[in-house]
Structures are given as structure tokens and as C-alpha cells.
Structure 1
Amino acid sequence: MASSSEYLSLREIGRRLNIPPSSVAYYKDRFSQFIPQQGGSGRRIRYPADAIPVFKEIRHMFNNNYSAEQVERDLARKFSPVCDLPHGQAEPQSVAELAGVVEKLSGLLDTQALFRAEIDSLRGELSTLKEEKERIEARYRDEIARLESEVEALRAERAAMFEEIWERIDRSADAGAKRSARPGAGFMQRPLVVTNDKGEYLGVAGKHGHFSLQEFVRIVRGNAGDSQRQVAMRWTAAGKDGYVLTLTTKDPAGQGHEHAIELQETVTPSGNRVVRIAKLTIDGNPVPDPFLMVLFRKIRDGFDV
């Protein structure tokens, strides 16, 4: 509570009444005839404790949606207009005009200071919000990178799991069927090729080496794991240096096909040992050689060339 002999700045009055600086400045300019002040000029203008109830009443009426004219009428009923000169004494016109100009100028400076203080406060809040936004974005970037790394690790683990399952199925099939055979590692890792109508050997080379039979089997198994089809693989020896890979597929409705790929190990004219796709049959029907070229182009497009 301010004492009757205490004089306050406009900013201090706003702080005590919890009124924004811009509102305090507006009240002071709009209802100056009801607000007492004591000496000083510009930012040094001071207001006696009697001014606090006036500001408080103005704030209360505006909070209750009074118009400025209604506020002025109520102030006239509750507070006497301020008179700075003794009763009956009038200021000379020129002095009064000069005093009015000085008062308005000082009021503008005071209002400007209040606005600047409010702007500085808003700038500080904006800077704090920007820093918080950057911290949140950085945290989410790190979290996204961590999750992506986990997804990649899970994908690799899933692929390894499918590979191990297929290896176990293949070993079980080899052990349980005398007529079944599985190529050795050397055969599986040799480049996979086809020959065109001119007898030329065509293969696929990527960033990590040649496209091999082992890579082909991995792609088949991976596609089986990513779809609802059931895929069964069976190896059968075919002659001295050859094998037949039979792929049996079934969809959820039980419909399917049987693909038999005859593979022969051979040596190219340049002395490279490769595995050639010699023949492809689908449901017992031989596929023309040009179709093998189409198949190989699709393989090439899916490999890391």
C-alpha cells in the first residue's frame, strides 16, 4: 500500500496494479483530467498515491466492457477533475499552451519507454521459444536417427534369420532325400550368366562383385519372406556339373506354379568359370531363350549396379 506522501512513476503504478505498460499509458492520456500528478517532466513525472485508485477503477471498468465514454462519466461522478492552480487563478494562454505541449511530449516519451520495455520483454520470450524449439528439433532428429538405426538392425537380423531357416530346411531336405542334392559353396558363388543367340555370355556385375547363384537364391528367399506366398526350393543333380533348382510357389488360395531352372557350370572363352542358366521350365513347359534375357534384365535392374 502506497503512503499519501509517496510518489510513483507510471511504470511502478502499472507493476503494482498488474496492468500492461501500454494500457497504463493509454489510461494516463485518455483520462488525464482525473489523474493527479506531482511535478517533474517527461520520464520524471511522478504520481501521488491518490492516482492509484483512479487507475484501478479505470482498469476495473474496462475489464467489465465499459466504453471510454462510460468510464469518463463514472470517473466524473467518483473523482473530481484535477486542478493544478489555486481556485480562480488562470494560466496565461501562451504558458498554458506550452505546458500542454511539454506535457504531451513527456507523455509520449514515457509511453515510448513503456512500449520499448514491453517489446524487449516480448523479444526475450521469443528468443526463449526459439531456443526451446531448436532443442526439441535436435532431440527429435537424434531420436529419428536412432530409430532408423534400430530399424536397419532389425531388418538385417530378420534377413539373417530367414537365411538361417532356409539353410536348415535345405540341410534337412538333403538329409531326408537320397535323390536330392545341393551345390557346394564354389558353385553357388560363381557368376550367374545366360547366353544370347550369338553364344555370348552375359552376366551382371555390381558394386560388390558379380551376381551369383547364391545372390539369386537370397533374393528369392527375401521375396518369399516379404509376401504371403509359400515358396519351396528343391535341388536335384543334373549330370556331372549341373543342378536343377525347382521353385514351387503357392498363394493363400492354394494356387501356384512350379519353376525348374537347369544350371550348368562351364568355362567362358576368356577362361572364367561361371554358372549358366541352361533352361527354364514353368509347370513343365519350356520357356523360350528370349524370355531368359527378359528375366536376366529384371535381375540386373534389381541388383546393385
Structure 2
Amino acid sequence: MRSAQLRSLTLAGLMLLAVSGCSGGEKSVKSDEAHGDSHGDTHGQADAHGGTGGAKLTHWAYSGDEGPSHWAQLGGDAATCASGARQSPIDLTGSGRPQMSKITLDYLSSNATIQNDGHSIKVVPSKGGGLIADGTQYDLKQIHFHSPSEHTINGRRAALESHFVHQNTKGEYLVVAVLSNVGVADPMLAPIWTYLPSDQTTPAAIPDLLINARDLMPAAEEFFVYSGSLTVPPCSEGVTWMVFSAPLSVSPEQVSAYETLLGSTARPIQARKDRDVLTIISAG
């Protein structure tokens, strides 16, 4: 599909494009194609790294011989990391006149668990609500973090990126992302950060704390929206991304606390190719 055609898409049309596999013939990522308990489950998928017919991708990293430049050689469906036509993350740049779209952020305050899975810090609410985009309900599955940010905005990388992973009843994925620059401490993130697990563990309950995803997002509901992929092996495509255009702020200490545990956890920027990026403003 040509870029000129994409500019006429609504948010609903872009979501359809994300799961249609119309460029490159890639399948959309669904719960049965997931890549697992480690960072795969970090993006909300069910068990086991690797695709439906692939080997489990239990060993991968952000540097060295198992780093991003080697992901495509890990086996299973991970070849998509190199061959895919719509990979994430990308640099987000001005995309013309903003469009209005019906988006309802309907999150609930919920108990949650926290886990250091070796690739990220993952927070899983027991019943976190979700969002409605152009009439389709997407339930919040979990929240995880990357440092530095994976996406860039006009070439600028932030200190932290939060991913809010959602899924609809068809098994299709939508990820809301929030970038945070170094500045003052994020008061809503601070209570979660007090429970950062120092070692790789199974999920542990966060005591005496209810988590509402909306508290961890900017107030202004304006987004960059595009069709992309998972940002970890097997890099499956068919993921709708909604990245808040306004950043939040985190303190150097909050960034340091994360990086001390996990180091750098960001995939390099991928080629945008023929994709357009829409600017969407919520119509409420």
C-alpha cells in the first residue's frame, strides 16, 4: 500500500492494516503466536518464545552475540526481526494534520503483581480495565518498561518508555507507549519503583497499592499511531502502536534504579519504509 493511500486512513483503518498483513505477507501477532514468559509475555503474549511452529527463544539479549543484530538467527519465527516490512520501534516525526478519533481510556484501579523477568520489569494488574478505540474494546494485559526509550520523537530518545499492552477478543494487540524524559521524579511511578525486584523471580504481589494505568500516562490524549511489530524476538508484526506525543518526566534516580537492574533494554530504531504515522487526538 502506497504512502499516499495511507494518509487517508482513519484510526480504525490503520488498525485493520495492522492485522491484515498487506505488506510483506506477515501474520498478525496473536496470543497463540506469542513469545513468552520472558520478555515475550512482557508484550502480553501467552507461553513460550517463538511462533506457533518455532522453537522457544529462551536466550536473547540486548547486546553481544545474542543482541538485536543476531535476533533473526535465533530460530523459529525470529527471522521476521530482519525480514519484516513493518518493524518497531521507529522514529516518530510530524505526520500532518491531526485527526479526531473516538478513544476512551477506561482503566480501573487494581491489585497487581511485579516481576523482573530478566529483560524488563513487568507489572500485571488483576483487573486493569482497558481502552475503546473506534468501538473496539482492548483489555489491558500488563505494563512493562524500557530504558532508554525504544521509540524516538523527531530523532530524540527519552530516558524511559512505558508500554501498556492491550488485546481485543480476536487476539489482536494494541500497545500504548509513554516516553519519559529526565527531570523531576514521576510521583505515580515512585510507589511501583519501591518494589523493583532485584533478581529474576516469579511474579510477586505488590502489597497495599492499587495501580491505575491512566495515572502513568500524560493528561493530553494525543498520539502517534502506526502499524508495527513486537520490539523483541520473534518481532511479529500486526501490532497497532499508539504513542503519546507528550512526554512525562522521571528523575535520574528513577532511571538509575531500573538500569542498575537491567542495563539498556531498547531495540535500535527500525526502518520506517512506506508506512505513514497518523497523529490522532481523542474525541472522548
Normalising by structure 1, we get a TM-score of 0.18
Higher RCO structure, 1 or 2 (CA under 8 Å, sep 6+) = 2
Normalising by structure 2, we get a TM-score of 0.19
Greater fraction strand: 2
Greater fraction helix: 1
